[in-house]
A and B are shown apart, each in its own frame.
Chain A
Amino acid sequence: MANEPKKSSRRDFIKISSASVIGLSLGALIPGGKWLENEVYAIPASQGYLLVDTKKCQGCSTCTIVCSLAHEGKQNLSLGRIQVQQNPFKSFPDDIKIDQCRQCAYPACVTACPTKALHADKKTGVRLVSPDKCIGCQRCMEACPYETSNAAWNHEDKNGHKCDLCLNTPFWKEQGGPNGKQACVQVCPVNAIAFTKEIPVQAGDGGYKVNLRDESWKQLGYPIS
């Protein structure tokens, strides 16, 4: 159950292309962007990324629930911005799939948003939603190139939302964001979620689905390779 990109279609090709190289007219709409000499618009990189180890995850979903709690003040799997899907009848490691926002270098969700609601934070580069600007078109969900969209719909507040690395957690007093802590990382009982400031390899899953299993994991008799 690796988080593979959806099957390519002409529409997807257009989405990914437009996310990679944004032309003059679109680029002008994006806050925090820079003009390059060749007049191609680039969005600043996020200063942080979540990495997960799908072979280490124990499937407790505490990360998902704490995400909704820190951000919304409520506990709800549907409002978690990191999602863990399980099939108890499948074999390890295909029984668990984790979807976490990749804070893409070329964020299709940002590009697709018609109102600048989904934007890169000026200070940190984190891709995040300004709910007051969101018109609920859900184009960010459609634009996200992954099988399970990492931009999600908050049906209670009626706006899109996505992982902000805990930059804005009204219900958790800890400082979040790339220079702080992330609730999911803090609560994961087996340390299967990590935070990095290094930009992961963008192609494929390998940069984001990583091996966090070390000698302590081996001591418990689990595979580390």
Chain B
Amino acid sequence: MKGYQGKILRVDLSNRKITNIETKKYAEYVGGHGIGSAIFWDLCKDKTIDGFDPANVVTIMGSPISGTITPSGSGRCEVTGIGVQSYPIGWYTRSNFGGRFSGMMKYAGWDGIVIEGKADKPVWIDVRNSDVKIRDADGLWGLSTWEAQEEIWEIVNKSVTKDGWKAISSSRDAGFTTQKPAVLAIGQAGENLGRSACLIHDAGNGAGQGGFGGVWGSKNLKAISVIGTGSIETDDPNALIEARIAAKNNYAYNFDDPKVGWNRFSSSPTLGGFYEREEESRPQSCMGCIAGCRARTASGLGSESSCVETIFYADFNRRKFGKQTRDAYVATDLLQKYGINAYEAWRGLEYLEKLYKLGVLGPGKEIDCPLDFEQLGTSEFAEEFLRMTAFREGIGDDFAEGFVRAAERWGRLEEDWKTGILFYPYWGCPDHMYDPRAEIEWGFASIVGDRDMNQHDFNGLYWDPTKDILGGKQPYLSAEEVTKVIAEKLVPFENNPRMLDFSLENAYSEDMAKLVSWTQIYGRFWKNSVLFCDWRWPDLYNPNDPDNSGLTGDEGEPKFLNAIIGGNMTFSEGMEIGRKIWNLDNAIYTLQGRHRDMVKFADYIYDIPYDGGLMGSYYLPAIENGEWKYIDTKGRKLDRDKFEEWKSKYYKLEGWDPETGWPTRSALKTLGLNHVADELEKNSLLGKE
């Protein structure tokens, strides 16, 4: 089994028992989420338990590409288990983080780590190659995510050094490394069972969604440290090196001749963020990335944060001071140190400000809250807000529950979902900026899934033309051109551009069902199981190619995987494995109590016109009067009845029962999941044919 280490570490914290699972048993799922779901299915006997139950099984999985030169994927890592963030119940869910943890885990000889049970006192897991110890975390509990990592580096790096190289054990045959251990840790938010608590690695890599920080806290697990000196066997080294070089030369950012156009894989190595980057800085990336999306700075502030971590406080900060100040960086760093989900903090803080302005929340108000909103935008305010959340201080106990549960505690949930001041459209998860009323596939895929899906597959169809149009430029590609180029890539539904028609008329169509299905099965396999990075893949269009065609397809994702594991898997075959994983996940949701009647957006999505979001306009490609164009989706809302009809179309497309949304035996059997059908049948939850 080239590309694998052959074993998955299994740690039972209740009994302090350390064993192995043979990776071979689950290799049909290839890695990441697929193997995680299959292991969860086998080991978590009662899938109806709460995420805080000690019987919850959490997997931290790499893949064959982890720790390799595969571009933009080598550093990703997938976490699965029952979450505690979503509402009304914590679905079986997933979160994904970057950095170097998955690679180091592989070098240590492990394809993944499975955590079961609950330790009787705080512990951390120390992995040095095959030597695994459960250690007391007395000196770590109470520390921030950053402090805990530095402490662990000190402990592990005390080992013998030889001429600048650190020994993993007393035997020189165990090898040497120059590297620090890769540590995944919770902060105070996780220790206090925050439902928005994250797992943080290095300065800015976080498994942010699902509340896995709180799940670890409930297991008394502070951190996992991995360091290793082992090798990843590779089927065809030359093919892998040549594929990497070709990807750089033909599809990545060209420093000598930067192409004007819309980029994804071809993006320059610059901060993908929403605050101004310090000029004195470098780009910084996950292991193996073709173009880093974060920075490390001369001030040391804001290092490794990107995307939502940077937006969380930047706007409040600019409003307070009329320009961005260092407070925005300080706030972002505090978020990483306490280990709090940036989306919850951002949308939650917006919600609190709205309640404050309504006169409902504040010192001595109906919702008694000591925060001084006149100071919103300062680092002092951010510190108080985040500290209250992390430590559950006072009303921070409500914040730590996530703001949907907080609203419920305050008796405001129904009303605030109606008016839309609580910007949480699906499953109690915060809005991502990509509203279901505008970017249909994002919202629909999230609501038929388990969380805010956070897959940017088609999200460039908003950002790229909207920026061009609002900037007074002709879009780089017309709606007709870009949808044609992308449609060629959408195997197994290829060459159907209508899947990318974002008009409201097409929102409830089978075409949109296919687009949602594509994004789910691509995500479940290539992105979350093989672990290609969401920010660089899929490469659907690329200005370096004369036809603007990206790297995704048989010459893209599978080429790297095949060079490592051997064989000739096609892109399409990978998608079929993705379908299998997606079916398995839905069987788990079904056992947890999912029924189509629950699959509904918050009321405001149906009742309040969309305001156009961050840029005030949200352009997407659509067919209007028989012609492709970019339309502004601002002002739209969804129709309840039509959305219900769409769900039926979607379930039928997946081969599931449209009355319940439950997977059917025939669908499961086709995918080799008969045992899953048996379990559903035993629980009277098998969909009707």
CB neighbours of B231 from chain A (8 A): 68, 72, 74-76, 79, 156
CB neighbours of A216 from chain B (8 A): 255-256, 258
Of the candidate stretches A23-31, A126-134, A140-148, the one touching chain B is A140-148
Q: Give the residue name and chain of the A residue nearest to B65 (CB).
A: A75
For chain B, residues 276 to 326, give those with C-beta under 8 angstroms from any C-beta of chain A: 277, 279-292, 295-300, 303-304
Question: What is the CA–CA distance of A147 and B295 in the complex, to the nearest angstrom?
Answer: 27
CB neighbours of A86 from chain B (8 A): 180
Known: A155-B173, A155-B229. Is A69-B241 also a contact (CB below 8 A)? Answer: yes
Question: What is the CA–CA distance of A191 and B165 in the complex, to the nearest angstrom?
Answer: 26
CB neighbours of A147 from chain B (8 A): 164
Known: A189-B252, A189-B291. Is A221-B270 also a contact (CB below 8 A)? Answer: yes
Known: A69-B241, A74-B231. Is A62-B175 also a contact (CB below 8 A)? Answer: no
B644 → chain A closest CB, angstroms? 47
Q: Is the CB of A158 within 8 A of B173?
A: yes
Of the candidate stretches B232-240, B350-358, B414-422, B575-583, the one touching chain A is B232-240
For chain A, residues 104 to 161, give those with C-beta under 8 angstroms from any C-beta of chain B: 138, 141-142, 144, 146-149, 152-153, 155-156, 158
Question: What is the CA–CA distance of A138 and B175 in the complex, to the nearest angstrom?
Answer: 13
Verify if B666 is at the interface (C-beta below 8 Å from A). no
Q: Is the CB of B237 within 8 A of A189?
A: no
Known: A88-B296, A155-B173, A190-B283. Is A77-B162 also a contact (CB below 8 A)? Answer: no
* Interchain Cβ contacts within 8 Å, total number: 207
Verify if A46 is at the interface (C-beta below 8 Å from B). no
The secondary-structure label for the interface of chain A is: loop
Question: What is the CA–CA distance of A91 and B175 in the complex, to the nearest angstrom?
Answer: 30
**The 5 A-B residue pairs with the shortest CB-CB distance in the complex, in nearest-first order:** A148-B164, A155-B175, A74-B231, A149-B163, A171-B237
On A, residues with C-beta under 8 Å from B are 55-62, 65-66, 68-70, 72-79, 83, 85-93, 95-96, 99, 138, 141-142, 144, 146-149, 152-153, 155-156, 158, 171-174, 183, 186-187, 189-191, 216-217, 219-223
Q: Is the CB of B282 within 8 A of A138?
A: no
On B, residues with C-beta under 8 Å from A are 67-69, 71, 74-75, 100, 103-104, 107, 146, 150, 162-165, 172-180, 202-204, 229-234, 237-238, 240-241, 244-245, 248, 252-253, 255-256, 258, 268-270, 277, 279-292, 295-300, 303-304
Q: Is the CB of A172 within 8 A of B296?
A: no
Q: Is the CB of A92 within 8 A of B282?
A: yes
Known: A61-B100, A223-B280. Is A91-B299 also a contact (CB below 8 A)? Answer: yes
B234 → chain A closest CB, angstroms? 6
Q: Is the CB of B282 within 8 A of A89?
A: no
B168 → chain A closest CB, angstroms? 9
A126 → chain B closest CB, angstroms? 20
Interchain Cβ contacts under 8 Å between A and B, 27 examples? A59-B282, A59-B284, A62-B288, A66-B69, A68-B231, A69-B68, A70-B237, A74-B237, A76-B229, A76-B232, A77-B103, A78-B177, A78-B230, A85-B179, A91-B298, A92-B281, A92-B295, A92-B303, A93-B282, A93-B298, A95-B296, A149-B165, A153-B162, A155-B176, A187-B69, A187-B244, A216-B255
CB neighbours of A148 from chain B (8 A): 163-165, 178
Question: What is the CA–CA distance of A85 and B279 in the complex, to the nearest angstrom?
Answer: 23
Q: Is the CB of A66 within 8 A of B287?
A: no
Q: Give the residue name and chain of the B residue nearest to A219 (CB).
A: B258
CB neighbours of A187 from chain B (8 A): 69, 241, 244-245, 248
Q: Is the CB of B244 within 8 A of A222?
A: no
Q: Is the CB of A91 within 8 A of B300?
A: yes
Q: Is the CB of A74 within 8 A of B234?
A: yes
Q: Give the residue name and chain of the A residue nearest to B104 (CB).
A: A77
Known: A58-B269, A74-B233, A155-B173. Is A138-B238 also a contact (CB below 8 A)? Answer: no
CB neighbours of B244 from chain A (8 A): 62, 66, 187
Known: A60-B292, A73-B234, A73-B237. Is A91-B283 also a contact (CB below 8 A)? Answer: no
Question: What is the CA–CA distance of A72 and B237 in the complex, to the nearest angstrom?
Answer: 9
CB neighbours of A78 from chain B (8 A): 107, 175-177, 229-230
Q: Which of B237, B269, B285 contacts A69 (CB 8 A)?
A: B237
Q: Which of A61, A153, A186, A191 contacts B172 (CB 8 A)?
A: A153
Q: Give the residue name and chain of the A residue nearest to B303 (CB).
A: A88
CB neighbours of B74 from chain A (8 A): 65
CB neighbours of A174 from chain B (8 A): 241
Q: Give the residue name and chain of the A residue nearest to B280 (CB).
A: A223
Question: What is the CA–CA distance of A145 and B655 in the complex, to the nearest angstrom?
Answer: 67
Question: What is the CA–CA distance of A79 and B234 in the complex, to the nearest angstrom?
Answer: 14
Q: Give the residue name and chain of the A residue nearest to B257 (CB).
A: A216
Q: Which of B175, B234, B295, B300 contacts A89 (CB 8 A)?
A: B300
Q: Is the CB of B230 within 8 A of A76?
A: yes
Q: Is the CB of B269 within 8 A of A189?
A: yes
Q: Is the CB of B69 within 8 A of A190?
A: no
Question: What is the CA–CA distance of A191 and B269 in the complex, to the nearest angstrom?
Answer: 11
Question: What is the CA–CA distance of A155 and B107 in the complex, to the nearest angstrom?
Answer: 13
B363 → chain A closest CB, angstroms? 36
Question: What is the CA–CA distance of A56 and B180 in the complex, to the nearest angstrom?
Answer: 21
CB neighbours of A144 from chain B (8 A): 163
CB neighbours of B277 from chain A (8 A): 221
Q: Is the CB of A149 within 8 A of B237?
A: no
Q: Is the CB of A75 within 8 A of B69?
A: yes
CB neighbours of B279 from chain A (8 A): 221-223
Given A66-B69, A92-B297, 6 other A-B contacts at CB below 8 A? A58-B284, A60-B285, A60-B288, A75-B232, A77-B178, A187-B248
Question: What is the CA–CA distance of A118 and B298 in the complex, to the nearest angstrom?
Answer: 40
Q: Which of A55, A56, A141 contacts B163 (CB 8 A)?
A: A141
CB neighbours of B304 from chain A (8 A): 88
Question: What is the CA–CA distance of A105 and B285 in the complex, to the nearest angstrom?
Answer: 34
CB neighbours of A183 from chain B (8 A): 241
Q: Is the CB of B282 within 8 A of A220?
A: no
CB neighbours of B174 from chain A (8 A): 155
Q: Is the CB of A77 within 8 A of B69?
A: no
A145 → chain B closest CB, angstroms? 10
Q: Is the CB of A90 within 8 A of B300?
A: yes
Question: What is the CA–CA distance of A111 and B164 in the complex, to the nearest angstrom?
Answer: 20
Q: Is the CB of B286 within 8 A of A60?
A: yes
Question: What is the CA–CA distance of A195 and B173 in the complex, to the nearest angstrom?
Answer: 32
Q: Is the CB of A66 within 8 A of B241?
A: yes
Question: What is the CA–CA distance of A171 and B242 in the complex, to the nearest angstrom?
Answer: 11
CB neighbours of A149 from chain B (8 A): 162-165
A187 → chain B closest CB, angstroms? 6
CB neighbours of B296 from chain A (8 A): 59, 88, 91-92, 95-96
B539 → chain A closest CB, angstroms? 15
Q: Which of B69, B241, B245, B282 contacts A222 (CB 8 A)?
A: B282
Q: Is the CB of B164 within 8 A of A146?
A: yes
Known: A60-B285, A190-B283, A220-B268. Is A77-B180 also a contact (CB below 8 A)? Answer: no
Q: Is the CB of B288 within 8 A of A83?
A: no
CB neighbours of A89 from chain B (8 A): 146, 150, 203, 300, 303
Question: What is the CA–CA distance of A74 and B229 in the complex, to the nearest angstrom?
Answer: 12
CB neighbours of A72 from chain B (8 A): 231
Question: What is the CA–CA distance of A119 and B230 in the complex, to the nearest angstrom?
Answer: 27
B593 → chain A closest CB, angstroms? 41
CB neighbours of A62 from chain B (8 A): 69, 244, 287-288
Q: Is the CB of A55 within 8 A of B282?
A: yes
Q: Is the CB of A75 within 8 A of B234?
A: yes
A170 → chain B closest CB, angstroms? 9
B454 → chain A closest CB, angstroms? 22
Question: What is the CA–CA distance of A223 and B107 in the complex, to the nearest angstrom?
Answer: 34
